[in-house]
Amino acid sequence: MSMELLETKTLIAYNKTTDFRKYFLNKSRESLHSYEEAVISSMDAVKKAILSERQPYSGVHPQEIADFFSDKILLPKEGKDVKEVIEDIYEVILKNSAFVNDRFCLAHLHCPVVIPTIAAEIIISSLNQSMDSWDQSPSATIIEQHTIDNLCRMFEYPATADGIYTSGGTQSNFMALLLARDNYCQKNLNWSIQDNGLPPEVSKFRIICSEVAHFTVKQSASILGMGYRSVVTIKPNDDFTMDSVALEYKIEELKSEGLIPIAIVATAGTTDFGSIDPLNEIADIAHKYDIWLHADAAFGGALVMSNKYRHKIAGIEKSDSMTVDFHKLFYQPISCSAFLLKDKRNFDVLKLTADYLNPEINEENGIPDLVTKSIQTTKRFDALKTYVAMQSIGKTVYGDMIDYTIDLAGNVAKLIESDPSFVLCTQPTINSVVFRYIADNTPENKTEKEWNDHVNAHVKLNLLLSGKAIVGQTVVNGFACLKFTLLNPLTNFEDIEELLEIIKEEAKKIQI
Ligand SMILES: Cc1ncc(COP(=O)(O)O)c(C=O)c1O
């Protein structure tokens, strides 16, 4: 039997039992109907969840959720209508989500999303453009590049700059240290890591950051074959910013020991405190010693849109690379982030061509394949989300949202300072307020510190397990603390007044 005949027969055989059309987007009525039904039923389920939501979490124990799924088969023999599946998951998944829109959901750098971007998400998933090669994403590639070029200008990078969308701050920080390492070797040791692997000098490489820099600095160093011990941390100032005098001193010390500082990571918006390292001072030091400066602005990068606080990230344009997370203070759905690079030639160490994907003939013919500057191959069209959100909201309103939340954090800090039940750990720079509850009495068999550590940790846990509030926790100089990450522009001062009273009530209930 000829191949052609076999294929036709197979198709006929399948089509007799199943009409595949309703499963894929095409021009048929069946397809368009099932598309509409799928999107509308998911929208209805989310609306129902939002309307019935009373607190940020239902309070259901993790085991109860696990029990529900324990007898569910992932791939049943026969499927059912998507509407039915959504109704099914509504009961367990939607009802038991962490409602990031709730006024009392303020633990992490985890934001509510702006509505225009949800429309973009539908388009992204429906059209499924892959950003690795231009033939999979013609206009999308151009929009990603256009968005990146605009972002570089917003951050005042020069015309030599470029960038790429990434899956998050973790990937962006990793790319920064990868490029810092590889470009150091290329320029100073005439050594290509791409060709030869790590050079003999690798054990001397050092990356310098503050003690409160994000853990992905260490994680990246380890993945990059330099090990945790290559990361040298600087004790921060009392306001959790990097001590630039100590930084310079440390560089001198490392050099005198024959070690090689290859990168400095400055943080613009530390995860716990929102503190911003002195970017101008650090940049001057980095330039003086010719060390790559990466600005981790995963959190604070959004200040580029602020109407009042843009100056807090002044100097960021002096960095060699930066991380900006849109799924934090830009109110974008996960995931959405960018890595920006001041001199696009530094991407060359990533350059790799694959015959099937980005052959050299493409570049010669002006076809842009973004994979050439990425560590991902298949990649989502996340740039559309930022594009649609920025076009729909505009700078004035976006900036006001951010400014409102920063002002709210400042007012909440004052409130906490005025309440004897709490100690404020540091004045907030942007959206994070870190504080410690102080109990009125301490049980006889405990020290005050032990008891307050216990109470703070259990307040967080009990609020979460009851679902009343999702507040953050951290440890500051060895003391257990609570944290509000105030990203939501719909949360107001009175909400937080109420939450502080709830925290006090919960704290008083805690027993040994
Ligand atoms: C300062 C900073 N850098 C990097 C990251 C990692 O980002 P992501 O979670 O998007 O990978 C975070 C996450 O909170 C962060 O706060």
Band of residue 190 on the pLDDT scale cut at 50, 70, 90: very high
pLDDT score of 18: 78
Say whether pLDDT at 251 is over 80.
Answer: yes
CB-based contact 211:241 (threshold 8 Å): no
Say whether pLDDT at 124 is over 90.
Answer: yes
pLDDT score of 197: 97
Q: Using N-to-C axis directions, what is the helix angle for 448-466 and 493-509, rounded to 10°?
A: 120
Q: What are the structure tokens assigned to 151, written together?
A: 């972002």
pLDDT digits (tens, 9 = 90+) for 357-376: 989 899 899 999 999 999 99
437 bridge partner residues = 422
Say whether pLDDT at 10 is over 90.
Answer: no
Residue whose token pair is 């039997």: 1
pLDDT score of 94: 96
Residues having CB within 6 Å of any atom of ligand 1: 109, 168-170, 173, 214, 216, 267, 269, 271, 296, 298-299, 325, 337
Which letter does DSSP use for residue 332 in this model? P
CB-based contact 413:481 (threshold 8 Å): no
Band of residue 4 on the pLDDT scale cut at 50, 70, 90: low
Say whether pLDDT at 387 is over 90.
Answer: yes
pLDDT score of 341: 98
Q: What is the mean pLDDT of residues 313-339?
A: 98
Band of residue 13 on the pLDDT scale cut at 50, 70, 90: low
As a whole number of angstroms, the distance between CA 79 and CA 75 comes to 8
Measured over the CA atoms of residue 170, residue 473, residue 303 and residue 405, the dihedral's sign is: positive
Residue whose token pair is 């696009």: 344
Q: What's 68-133 look like in SS3?
A: HHHCCCCCCCCCCCHHHHHHHHHHHHHCCCCCCCCCCEECCCCCCCCHHHHHHHHHHHHHCCCCCC
Distance 364 CA to ligand 1 centre (A): 37
Q: What are the structure tokens assigned to 270, written together?
A: 């530390």
Neighbour count for residue 364 (Cβ, 10 Å): 8
Q: What are the structure tokens assigned to 276, written together?
A: 């911003």
pLDDT digits (tens, 9 = 90+) for 392-401: 999 999 999 9
Q: What is the mean pLDDT of residues 405-427?
A: 98
- Residue 166 phi/psi, 5-degree rounding, is -130, 180
State the closest ligand 1 atom to the C-alpha of 109, by its place in the atom list counted from 1: 14
295 bridge partner residues = 266, 322
pLDDT score of 392: 98
Return the SS3 of 476: strand
How much of the chain exceeds pLDDT 70, in percent? 97
Nearest CA, atom 5, ligand 1: 169
Say whether pLDDT at 44 is over 60.
Answer: yes
As a whole number of angstroms, the distance between CA 50 and CA 73 comes to 28
Pocket test for ligand 1, best of 167, 271, 277, 330 (most atoms within 8 A of CB): 271
Neighbour count for residue 241 (Cβ, 10 Å): 23
163 bridge partner residues = 340
Band of residue 5 on the pLDDT scale cut at 50, 70, 90: low
State the closest ligand 1 atom to the C-alpha of 328, by its place in the atom list counted from 1: 10
How much of the chain exceeds pLDDT 90, in percent? 93
CATH (residue range 172-356): 3.40.640.10
Of 262, 198, 259, 270, the closest CA to residue 236 belongs to 270
State the closest ligand 1 atom to the C-alpha of 267, by its place in the atom list counted from 1: 1
Looking at the whole model, is its pTM more than 0.85?
Answer: yes
pLDDT score of 15: 56
Of 113, 31, 79, 45, the closest CA to residue 382 belongs to 113
Distance of CA 481 to the CA centre of its chain: 23
pLDDT score of 2: 54
pLDDT score of 420: 97
Nearest CA, atom 7, ligand 1: 169
pLDDT score of 332: 98
State the closest ligand 1 atom to the C-alpha of 213, by its place in the atom list counted from 1: 1
The chain-wide mean pLDDT, for the chain, equals 95
Q: What is the mean pLDDT of residues 52-72?
A: 93
Instruction: Kindly report, as residue ranges, where domains of CATH 3.40.640.10 are found in the chain.
Output: 172-356
3-state helix, strand and coil shares in percent for the chain, rounded to the nearest 5: 50, 15, 35
Q: What is the mean pLDDT of residues 120-144?
A: 97
395 to each of 154, 271, 305, 400, 408, how far by Cα in Å? 11, 25, 6, 8, 20
CB-based contact 108:472 (threshold 8 Å): yes
Amino acid at 240: F
As a whole number of angstroms, the distance between CA 7 and CA 160 comes to 52
Band of residue 315 on the pLDDT scale cut at 50, 70, 90: very high
pLDDT digits (tens, 9 = 90+) for 146-172: 999 999 999 999 999 999 999 999 999
Say whether pLDDT at 512 is over 90.
Answer: no
Distance 339 CA to ligand 1 centre (A): 12
Band of residue 353 on the pLDDT scale cut at 50, 70, 90: confident
Instruction: Kindly report, as residue ranges, where domains of CATH 3.90.1150.10 are found in the chain.
Output: 391-509
CATH (residue range 391-509): 3.90.1150.10
pLDDT score of 9: 55
Say whether pLDDT at 203 is over 60.
Answer: yes
Q: What is the mean pLDDT of residues 246-257?
A: 98
Q: What's 449-465 look like in SS3?
A: HHHHHHHHHHHHHHHHH
Find all residues with CB under 8 Å of 173, minimum gap 6, and list them: 214, 216, 217, 220, 265, 294, 296, 298, 323
Amino acid at 181: R
pLDDT digits (tens, 9 = 90+) for 443-480: 999 999 999 999 999 999 999 999 999 999 999 999 99
